[in-house]
Amino acid sequence: MRIVSGIQPTGNLHLGNYLGAIRNWVRMQDEVAAGGGLSLYFLADLHAISQPHVPAELSANCREMVAALVACGIDPDKSVLFNQAQVPQHAELQWLLNGTARMGWLNRMTQWKDKAGKNREGQSVALFTYPVLQAADVLLYQATHVPVGEDQKQHLELARDIAQKFNNDFCPEDAPVFTLPKPTIPPEAARIMSLRDGNAKMSKSDPSDMSRINLTDDADAIMQKVKKAKTDPEPLPGDKAGLEGRPEAANLVGIYAAMAGTSVEAVLGQFGGEGFGKFKPALGELLVEQLAPINARFNELRQDQAALDAILAKGGAKARELAAPTLAATYQALGLLRG
Ligand code: TYM
């Protein structure tokens, strides 16, 4: 097994990232190490420049994100933890795959449509070709499994299409260059929604900080955000079917279940018939209890910039080494002479 996944170092790590992806990264890191496989986790800093950004903030966010990932349980001695910018092969492979990816495929990407909105002509070319870089990220390391939240599924399907077409077009049938990666999406918590709108995904780009729980929030902030979370006036139902048409209630119950490591049914078994006046404080306390140790560790780790840079330097060196054979095979398959 070869696990590869990434996160954009824009802003804070939030509960959606944690439950949708990072918690799975940690679990898979341990599983894969026990089985003799390897996991690679990276900061998608090259992706972050596809939209307007402030350079000094990007470097600061990269260091903060390494601290946050380590605080969540990513162990730089077990996983290869790095940032794309230190591994030029990502950008190189993207260029080589640009010859295989199709405009029509990229035009169908919902994230491109959402981010570009009505102003497609005004977007950077990087925002449009973003999914090709994402394909390069995983194909470069022959990833077998890619742990992500639901919103990245379409990008992973595109990576498979690119790999398949490249293998068909340029490789002998018995010697494909690329492995087709599988997305690993958690059954619960695949899509954590905003605390202000049960129909919008929890996201770092939401202008309202009240819409998300950041892993850097202290206990007061967490309790406050949960207390103010949008809900409806009805008490909680006794079963899952009763959550239908109640997106905010479904989201809060889903978060509780994911944090407690139990099912939605079990949470409703406990809280069915209760109002939010009782459920919200219980949810807030559960979040505070589980996030407090992460928060404390994060605050410790972020102080030592040199140590964070050293983690990225070590991970970058290892990633460059691991990337070399696939990149060489790609050049060769395309008939490009490299001396
Ligand atoms: P990013 O930085 O938006 O998110 C990182 C991970 O968190 C998951 N996630 C969520 N899961 C559940 N509920 C939510 N509300 C929520 N918000 C975010 C995402 O699905 C993701 O797994 N393009 C990617 C980064 C990337 C990448 C890659 C991922 C670049 N190259 C290669 C996998 C493989 C992104 O912007 O994720």
Q: Give 123-167 pLDDT, tens digit per residue.
A: 999 999 999 999 999 999 999 999 999 999 999 999 999 999 999
Strands 38-43 and 2-7: parallel
**Which residues on adjacent β-strands are paired with residue 4?**
40
- In the structure, what pLDDT confidence band is assigned to residue 189 with cuts at 50, 70 and 90? confident
Secondary structure, 3-state, 40-96:
EEEECHHHHCCCCCCHHHHHHHHHHHHHHHHHHCCCCCCCEEEEHHHCCHHHHHHHH
Strands 38-43 and 80-83: parallel
- When pLDDT is averaged across residues 46-67 and rounded to a whole number, the result is 96
- In the structure, what pLDDT confidence band is assigned to residue 187 with cuts at 50, 70 and 90? confident
The pair of three-digit structure tokens given for residue 252, joined into one six-digit string: 């809060």
Cα-based angle 15, 189, 145 (whole degrees, multiple of 5): 100
- In the structure, what pLDDT confidence band is assigned to residue 313 with cuts at 50, 70 and 90? very high
Other CB atoms within a 10 A radius of the CB of residue 2 amount to 18
Plot region of 192 (φ>0 → left; ψ -120 to 50 → alpha; else → beta) = beta
Q: Is the pLDDT of residue 92 over 80?
A: yes
Please give the Cα distance from 135 to 159 (Å, whole number). 4
- When pLDDT is averaged across residues 35-59 and rounded to a whole number, the result is 96
What's the whole-number average pLDDT of the chain? Answer: 96
- When pLDDT is averaged across residues 50-70 and rounded to a whole number, the result is 96
- When pLDDT is averaged across residues 310-318 and rounded to a whole number, the result is 98
- Rounded to the nearest whole angstrom, what is the distance from the C-alpha of residue 7 to the centroid of ligand 1? 5
**Which residues on adjacent β-strands are paired with residue 182?**
145
Instruction: State which ligand 1 atom lies nearest to the alpha carbon of 194.
Output: 15
Q: Is 262 exposed, middle or buried (0-12, 13-18, 19+ CB in 10 A)?
A: middle
The secondary structure of residue 192, as a DSSP letter, is P
- Rounded to the nearest whole angstrom, what is the distance from the C-alpha of residue 332 to the centroid of ligand 1? 32
End-to-end Cα spacing for the chain: 33
Nearest Cα to Cα of residue 322 among 44, 20, 70, 89 = 89
Q: Strands across the sheet with 2-7, in order?
A: 80-83, 38-43, 2-7, 145-147, 182-184
Does CATH number 3.40.140.10 belong to domain 2-190+304-333? no
- In the structure, what pLDDT confidence band is assigned to residue 69 with cuts at 50, 70 and 90? very high
**Residue boundaries of the structural domains of the chain:** 2-190+304-333, 209-300
- In the structure, what pLDDT confidence band is assigned to residue 192 with cuts at 50, 70 and 90? very high
Q: Say what the pLDDT of residue 233 is.
A: 94
Concerning whether 204 is annotated as a catalytic residue, the answer is yes
Indicate which residue of 113, 118, 182, 204 is catalytic.
204
Q: Say what the pLDDT of residue 310 is.
A: 98
Instruction: State which ligand 1 atom lies nearest to the alpha carbon of 147.
Output: 22
Q: Say what the pLDDT of residue 10 is.
A: 87
Q: Whose CA is nearest to atom 20 of ligand 1?
A: 149
CATH architecture of 209-300: Orthogonal Bundle (1.10)
pTM of the model: 0.96
- Rounded to the nearest whole angstrom, what is the distance from the C-alpha of residue 92 to the centroid of ligand 1? 22
Q: Say what the pLDDT of residue 258 is.
A: 95
- Range list of H helices, the chain: 15-17, 23-34, 45-48, 55-72, 89-98, 103-107, 110-116, 125-139, 153-170, 219-228, 247-260, 264-271, 276-301, 305-333
